[in-house]
Amino acid sequence: MYPTLLHAWKKFNQYSIFGILSFRSPSRDFKVLSRIFGGSRGTVVQHSNFQVNTYQVPTNGTRGFDTLKQYVSPNAFYDSDDRPDPPKCHENTRLAVIKKIMDWVLGEFDEGALVLWLYGPAGSGKTAIARTIAGLCDTQHLLLASFLFFRTDSRRNTMKSIVANISYRAALRIPQLRAFIEDAIETDPLIFEYSLEVQLTKLFIEPLQSLLDTGISSQYHLPTLLVIDGLDECLDEAAQASLIELLSSVPRHCGFPLKVLLSSRPEQQLKFAINSISPPSMVSYLELNDSFHPSDDIRLFLISNFGRLKASHPLRTLIPPCWPTVAQVNTLVQKASGQFVYAAVVARYVKSVRHLPPERLDIVLDLRPPDRDLPFAELDSLYKHILSRAEDIDLVLKILGIRIAMQRDSFAPHIHVIERIVALKEGSVLVALSDLHSLVECDDNGQIKIHHSSLPDFFLAPHRSGSYHIDIPAMHEKILLWTLVLQPDFQINPSLWYTIELDLHLKATRFTPELERALWNFPLVLYVDNHPFPFIEAALAVRWQIFDALEMLKQDKILDRLSLLLNQHMVRRIDSCPSPQRFALISTIWFAYWRQPQDYWLRRIPGNLGLSGVWKKLRATLFSFDSADVKWDQKNFETLQHPMRFMPRVWQSFRDLDPVIALFGGNNEAAYQEHFSSNRLVRVALACLHYLRCRGSRETHPSRRFVCTWARRSARTPWLWRLRMRLTSRKSTLPNLLSRIQFPRWRPERTSPSLRKLPQILDSDYFPKITSFITRYAMYMLALDLFNIVLRLTNESPELTQALSKPFIFHPATIALPRRTRQAKRAIRKYREKARISTWETSSEGSSKETEYLSCSDSEEGT
């Protein structure tokens, strides 16, 4: 019996048989014996035989463990009581994310990856997910240790305690590991003053190696998961990268399959450190984005919290049963933009027991002024902390101010546009925002994405943002000054300028002398001529974006000057027309439509017949426009488009642009006299009459036979005729139209397939005939409408009177248009009465009954 372990070792070293026990060194041998005799009482050493009576040593009874506890940060454990309401996942929320992480922990997902990086914007719920995962793994004996960084805790915003915390929890999870950790601390009590690498090696990696050498891994299932949350909140960025490198090297150094769950914001230094891990297959990435539908979880979280308030709040009797409304919940979900921190702040603010929850929610929604306590104080503190890390905060505020001012534009501003507005070099925006990836992100499309919808509200409210306040009217003015004063490289890449909607910025800015000078000297002609759209659409854009805004802001002098410049430029463009006479006829057609009710063409012309292509063929047939005319028109005014396509926009927008009104026909007294005196209405009517007349050529025979067969079959089944005409007027493509028409009996040719089988029709020779008929059908429909309108407007003309005095037969295709044909015939009779011509009856005159159309066709076949 020896009183001390050291005395026992000395005696044992004297009498031991070295052939049986061979030790490499006294210090090493002492360590081995200390592990054998650790926690023993009444130890007997006799003739190389050991009798050891062990007992469990209390935690407080060892010097190494006592030293270790002094450096532990208890609040860094996942289950610590570091705050009244620690973040955790609400019931039935974040299920998809949690399942994916647990599959990785259990080896069912990305088995080869030992590091899983869970990243997302600030407030996206990373800490809540990390705590939940740690709790689940702890209950299943999978958790080795955890450490949760926190920026405002002096023991959790550095690396001083992380190794102590990991070693402490590892010793509790694996009791056999404790002796090795104690030995390392007792051997060098100043170990916690060393570097992070030395601490992790001596207190974690080497003890794990020694433990694995005993073969314990084959006897027990060891926990392997290490959870590190909020690594970006560590103040030492260099230490962040070092920790990632050291933890990823643990399996390589000791063979222990340590799995590390890292959760953080996507900061630049962390991206670089994690991407540097070798091999890359060792890392798995999990981003908290919209693919996990966070808005649905936020809605569930809010509804559940509001429901508990209505059931348990001290003032619940004053809460309306319908509170909160669906619109209020939707607004909160939209404001949260997938970030749980907003919803959590709202829930904590609303559930105050000293206030009425509906009133607190109204404060959150800006429906009433706040009380002494601000609803978003916690969220504002988070924003200010992240912004404080920016190196050049003034430049950051300018960039974000331009982005927020342009968020209502149809196209999100490109980074190049912002760089030019702020007068920066290429790439400066990416560098300036590199420290704010948890709030904003520059995506692959070159646009700045704001993760939090509440961030603009923070910048715009001085009482919330303080020194980070952004003067948005000044940002609108900066955008306008850059746009109105065209830079020298404008003609090289003009598309950058045209993505800016000037009317929005004019209405939101303050008019300063500098802005007024820029508007007065605005190079309007250069701006319109370089527009990517045709000239007329560029003129319309100027009208909508500048003139209307100036008119609303009562800037009459500037408006008169810019209107005069645009009118003069339009006159010059009109004078460059290659075929003035032919375009004058198109102007007359527009004039004829100007005279009709505004919704005339919407009621008369269906949208499923390919209007642009049909009108292109008809205008070429009526007026012989060549390719040069079409090219000039496409670049300038697009008058060759059918009025149905263009006039709804022209109707109200050209009221102050006199040259365009003249070009598009106009609707005033001067335009009325011009079209009548120039005899252009008569020329249009004659062109339509010539087109609609049946000339008896061989080319009309296939069409006549086709239509006659249609009419005969329709006479036998009138309901089928109505069905065909009803389907023809619907907005559907031609294949859909043909697939819906049921022709159970109709077979114009015995070899033609049934129209029920559309694929066979598309492959057969019969489909082109149907397509050709539909096109001719639409062309004659437009021609009949135009002829009817023009003939009612035109004055008496000897040439037109002579043409109408001769009997003629309408083209057979008009059989499919009975209503328009009757209207055209009535217009002819009225013109004849107006011209005092004796009435005459054509061989095709009569009602629209099917038998009369057959007689019309039969009489034509004899011509």
Say yes or no: 202 and 301 in one domain: no
Nearest to 72 by CA among 89, 59, 84, 85: 59
Q: Which of 288, 321, 338 is the last residue of a domain?
A: 288
Q: Which of 31, 54, 77 is the last residue of a domain?
A: 54
Q: How far is CA 300 from the centre of its chain?
A: 23
Tokens of 630: 């079409």
Q: Rounded CA gap, 191 and 451, in Å?
A: 43
Say yes or no: 814 and 706 in one domain: yes
Task: Judge whether 526 lies within some domain.
Answer: no
- DSSP symbols for 441-487: EE-TTSBEEES-TTHHHHHH-HHHHGGG---HHHHHHHHHHHHHS--
- DSSP symbols for 478-537: HHHHHHHS--TTTTTSTHHHHTS-HHHHHHHS---HHHHHHHHT--HHHHHHT-SS-HHH
Mean pLDDT, consecutive 10-residue segments, the chain of 863 residues?
43 38 40 46 49 44 81 91 76 92 91 91 90 94 94 89 94 92 92 93 92 82 93 91 92 89 91 91 91 91 91 90 92 89 89 88 80 77 88 93 85 83 90 87 85 88 92 93 79 75 90 92 88 81 85 90 86 79 78 69 52 76 81 78 59 52 58 70 87 60 53 53 48 41 39 39 45 71 86 84 75 68 85 64 38 33 31
Task: Judge whether 136 lies within some domain.
Answer: yes
Say yes or no: 89 and 218 in one domain: yes
- The CA-to-CA distance between both ends of the chain, in Å, stands at 139
Say yes or no: 21 and 43 in one domain: yes
**Three-class secondary structure of residue 618 per DSSP:** helix
pLDDT score, position 194: 93
CB distance 230 to 126 below 8 Å: yes
Q: Rounded CA gap, 522 and 564, in Å?
A: 13
Q: Which of 358, 375, 392 is the last residue of a domain?
A: 375
User: Side chain identity at 286, as an amino acid letter?
Assistant: L
**C-alpha angle with apex 555: 553 to 558, nearest 5 degrees?**
140
Say yes or no: 66 and 31 in one domain: no
Say yes or no: 66 and 49 in one domain: no
**C-alpha angle with apex 368: 362 to 370, nearest 5 degrees?**
95
Beta strand pairing status for 49-54 and 40-46? antiparallel
Task: Judge whether 216 lies within some domain.
Answer: yes
440 bridge partner residues: 450
Cα-flanking dihedrals φ and ψ of residue 119, to 5°? Answer: -135, 155
- Tally of domains within the chain: 5
Task: Judge whether 257 lies within some domain.
Answer: yes
- DSSP symbols for 107-123: TSSSTT-SEEEEE-STT
Which residues, including other chains, have CB under 8 Å from residue 706's CB and lie 6 or more apart?
748, 769, 773
Say yes or no: 836 and 727 in one domain: yes
In 72-144, which ranges are continuous DSSP H helix?
Answer: 95-105, 126-139
Say yes or no: 21 and 83 in one domain: no
Which residues, including other chains, have CB under 8 Å from residue 666's CB and lie 6 or more apart?
591, 594, 672
For 473-498, give one letter per residue: b (16+ CB within 10 A) or e.
eebbbbbbbbbbebeeebeeebebbb
Say yes or no: 9 and 101 in one domain: no
Tokens of 347: 């829930």
pLDDT score, position 816: 64
Task: Judge whether 330 lies within some domain.
Answer: yes
Task: Judge whether 403 lies within some domain.
Answer: no
Task: Judge whether 756 lies within some domain.
Answer: yes
Q: Rounded CA gap, 692 and 811, in Å?
A: 6
- pTM exceeds 0.75 for this model: no
Say yes or no: 160 and 200 in one domain: yes
pLDDT score, position 669: 62
Task: Judge whether 380 lies within some domain.
Answer: no
Say yes or no: 787 and 831 in one domain: yes
Q: Tokens 């129209």 identify what position?
A: 755
pLDDT score, position 842: 38
Domain that holds residue 843: 700-861
Say yes or no: 231 and 370 in one domain: no
